[in-house]
Amino acid sequence: MDLILKNGILVTSEEMYQADIGISGEKIAAIGTDLQDNTSKIIDVTGKFILPGAIDAHTHMALAFGGTVSSDGYLSGTKAAACGGVTTIIDYAMQRSGKGIMETIEERKSIAQAEVCVDYGFHCIITDLNNDAILDEFESAVQAGITSFKCFFVYKKEKMMVDDGTFLKVLLEADKVGAIVNIHAENSDAIDLNIERLLRNGKTSAWYHYVSRPECVESEAVKRAVHWAVSFNKPLYIVHMADKEGIEAVTLAKDSGYRIYAETCPQYLEFTCDVYKREDGRNFVCSPPMKGKDSKIALWDALKRGDIDTIATDHCPFYKEQKDWGINDFTKIPNGCGGIEFLYPYILNAANAGVISFSKAVEVCSFNPAKIFGCHEKGSLSIGKDADIVVYDPDKDYTVSAKHMHSKCDHTIWEGKSFHGFPVLTFVRGKLVYDNGKFMGVPGFGKFIKRKAKKTQVTSV
Ligand code: URP
Ligand code: ZN
Ligand code: ZN
């Protein structure tokens, strides 16, 4: 073996126990008590926890959006990932009218590969079916490891929204080839109507971002998406859920045995819409917006009872200067917030405080995203899996400051947030990429993850 981490407490999605873990090359080679090997480097991790690396299944590195580009590209975004214990990202590649899926993916890959410091995969956002030609590409996309497609029910003016008919075609075709559909569920027409009325009445501050996209805007779209997935009995993954009624619809469908998966993000668990009343409210502008206190409580409850399957970041930061475009008009604020460096610390901090278990944190940040999105080599501490490992010090105190982030962004919504417990080592496929505050990785080391589809169904609907 090349390395043994000794005397740690292993955390899996099911249990915690004291053990050593041995790494050989890129893989976990042994787990046991008192592992010995003369050739091994040994790190004593007594008192520390050993976790599978987090998989952030929702990122937008260098996203062209809102007339600009998000501030973290694949280099700074994955540096930040490594320093927070994220060992794999699944980024969104956006197919546009006239473009093919593989063309879109290859284009993104050619930007990402030289820069990525952790492993990566892509979901493909479908914005236009190119007269249904795109549907014929689903099978080859799956063969190439793209096993998830996303639709937006929003962003009509940006030409990213799909109508219900297109969504249904994507839902049905994806299932045929064993892929899953992700949906951003907000009602675009209701938002546009609200925006028009608000601007006409001079309501332009960041608070009106929330007022234009209140709870009902999200719940209608979630219920619509769930309705279609349930009616056709197809799996569906709802991204960045922020609303109580939406999550109740998910619970109902899950309880009836349907394969509806829910993702939320740390920002929806931490903040409420009150942040938009702050002087720097525009820095919190993302879509969907943070909702009222009832939604925040409902999300925590759903997480605890197992109705939230994954926690991801929707990492999409913009510089202060970009956010400032909307000082006098909330519709000009680029939508998105960063947070990849604080995903695992945030959830593990909740575990450390006894709000959820450490196994639940591993389940939603690593095990479930690996399972849902077909990252078969990842997501658990077991022999033969990739040695994507985080060593977490439950006693290390850390207070967030943009000055010390590895993201390129010049501010963070997490400024001043204190964590009791923080990752101290991150390994990606056995390679140390983060050591106690210091990035140790190499750009281009990250490997494209050819994800596996659930099944390949040949019957047509
Ligand atoms: O505000 C957000 N979430 N920006 C990124 C794009 C999206 O909708 O996920
Ligand atoms: Zn979205
Ligand atoms: Zn997103």
Q: Are 398 and 419 in contact (CB under 8 A)?
A: yes
CA gap 364, 375 in Å, rounded: 14
444: left (phi over 0), alpha (psi -120 to 50) or beta: left
pLDDT value of position 157: 96
3-state secondary structure 137-196: HHHHHHHCCCCEEEEECCCCCCCCECCHHHHHHHHHHHHHCCCEEEEECCCHHHHHHHHH
Which residues make Cβ contacts (< 8 Å) with residue 58, sequence separation at least 6?
A: 90, 92, 239, 240, 263, 265, 312, 313, 314, 315
CA gap 436, 391 in Å, rounded: 10
Read off the pLDDT band of 292 (50, 70, 90). Answer: very high
**Domain finish residue from 372, 391, 411:** 372
For the cut 80, the answer to whether the pLDDT of residue 286 exceeds it is yes
User: What string of DSSP letters covers 224-236?
Assistant: HHHHHHHHTT--E
Q: Give CA separation, 60 vs 69, 97, 270, 367, in Å.
A: 10, 19, 21, 21
CA gap 56, 389 in Å, rounded: 14
Note whether 237 and 350 are same-domain residues: yes
Q: Are 172 and 234 in contact (CB under 8 A)?
A: yes
CA gap 159, 175 in Å, rounded: 25
Note whether 184 and 273 are same-domain residues: yes
CA gap 301, 375 in Å, rounded: 27
Note whether 156 and 258 are same-domain residues: yes
Note whether 256 and 321 are same-domain residues: yes
- Rounded mean pLDDT, 89-117: 98
- Rounded mean pLDDT, 46-55: 98
CA gap 278, 18 in Å, rounded: 45
Read off the pLDDT band of 38 (50, 70, 90). Answer: confident
pLDDT tens by residue, 62-98:
999 989 999 999 999 999 999 999 999 999 999 999 9
How far is the centre of ligand 3, averaged over its atoms, from the C-alpha of 284 (Å)? 14
Residue nearest atom 6 of ligand 1, based on CA coordinates: 336
Angle at 387 between CA 385 and CA 392, to 5 degrees: 125
Which residues make Cβ contacts (< 8 Å) with residue 351, sequence separation at least 6?
A: 357, 358, 360, 361
Total domains in the chain come to: 2
For the cut 50, the answer to whether the pLDDT of residue 460 exceeds it is no
Read off the pLDDT band of 123 (50, 70, 90). Answer: very high
Length of the chain: 461
**CB half-sphere exposure, 194, CA atoms < 13 A:** 19
Q: Are 398 and 111 in contact (CB under 8 A)?
A: no
Read off the pLDDT band of 461 (50, 70, 90). Answer: very low
In short, whether 335's Cβ falls inside 6 Å of ligand 1 is yes
Note whether 136 and 242 are same-domain residues: yes
- Work out the number of other CB atoms within 10 angstroms of the CB of residue 328: 9
CATH number, domain of 434, equals 2.30.40.10
Host H or E run for residue 427: strand 418-428
**Domain finish residue from 321, 355, 372:** 372
For the cut 60, the answer to whether the pLDDT of residue 458 exceeds it is no
The alpha helices in 353-443, defined as continuous H runs, are 358-362, 368-372
How far is the centre of ligand 2, averaged over its atoms, from the C-alpha of 237 (Å)? 12
Counting ligands in written order, which one lies closest to the CA of residue 92? 3
Q: Output helix, strand, coil percentages for the chain, rounded to the nearest 5.
A: 35, 25, 40
In short, whether 286's Cβ falls inside 6 Å of ligand 1 is yes
Mean pLDDT of the chain: 97
In short, whether 59's Cβ falls inside 6 Å of ligand 1 is no
pLDDT tens by residue, 423-445:
999 999 999 999 999 999 999 99
Note whether 16 and 101 are same-domain residues: no
In short, whether 287's Cβ falls inside 6 Å of ligand 1 is yes
- 152 within domain boundaries: yes
How far is the centre of ligand 3, averaged over its atoms, from the C-alpha of 49 (Å)? 30
CA gap 134, 144 in Å, rounded: 15
In short, whether 182's Cβ falls inside 6 Å of ligand 1 is no
Q: Pick from 154, 316, 340 the residue to mutate for probing ligand 1's pocket: most ligand atoms within 8 Å of its CB.
A: 316
How far is the centre of ligand 2, averaged over its atoms, from the C-alpha of 29 (Å)? 38
Alpha-carbon Rg for the chain in angstroms: 21
How far is the centre of ligand 3, averaged over its atoms, from the C-alpha of 338 (Å)? 11
pLDDT value of position 454: 83
- Rounded mean pLDDT, 22-26: 98
How far is the centre of ligand 3, averaged over its atoms, from the C-alpha of 337 (Å)? 10
Counting ligands in written order, which one lies closest to the CA of residue 316? 1
pLDDT value of position 297: 99
Tokens, residue 150: 């996303």
pLDDT value of position 39: 84
Tell whether omega for the bond before 288 is within 30 degrees of 0, i.e. cis.
yes
Q: Pick from 267, 314, 318, 322 the residue to mutate for probing ligand 1's pocket: most ligand atoms within 8 Å of its CB.
A: 314
In short, whether 60's Cβ falls inside 6 Å of ligand 1 is yes
How far is the centre of ligand 3, averaged over its atoms, from the C-alpha of 399 (Å)? 26
Note whether 382 and 324 are same-domain residues: no
The model carries a pTM of 0.98
For the cut 50, the answer to whether the pLDDT of residue 459 exceeds it is no
In short, whether 316's Cβ falls inside 6 Å of ligand 1 is yes
SS3 6: strand
Domain assignment of residue 14, given as a range: 3-51+378-439
- 452 within domain boundaries: no
How far is the centre of ligand 1, averaged over its atoms, from the C-alpha of 151 (Å)? 12
Host H or E run for residue 432: strand 431-435
pLDDT value of position 85: 99
Note whether 148 and 215 are same-domain residues: yes
Q: Pick from 286, 315, 340 the residue to mutate for probing ligand 1's pocket: most ligand atoms within 8 Å of its CB.
A: 286
In short, whether 423's Cβ falls inside 6 Å of ligand 1 is no
In short, whether 212's Cβ falls inside 6 Å of ligand 1 is no
pLDDT value of position 456: 46
- 238 within domain boundaries: yes
In short, whether 184's Cβ falls inside 6 Å of ligand 1 is yes
Note whether 234 and 107 are same-domain residues: yes
Note whether 16 and 131 are same-domain residues: no
How far is the centre of ligand 2, averaged over its atoms, from the C-alpha of 182 (Å)? 10
- Rounded mean pLDDT, 138-144: 98
Note whether 233 and 325 are same-domain residues: yes
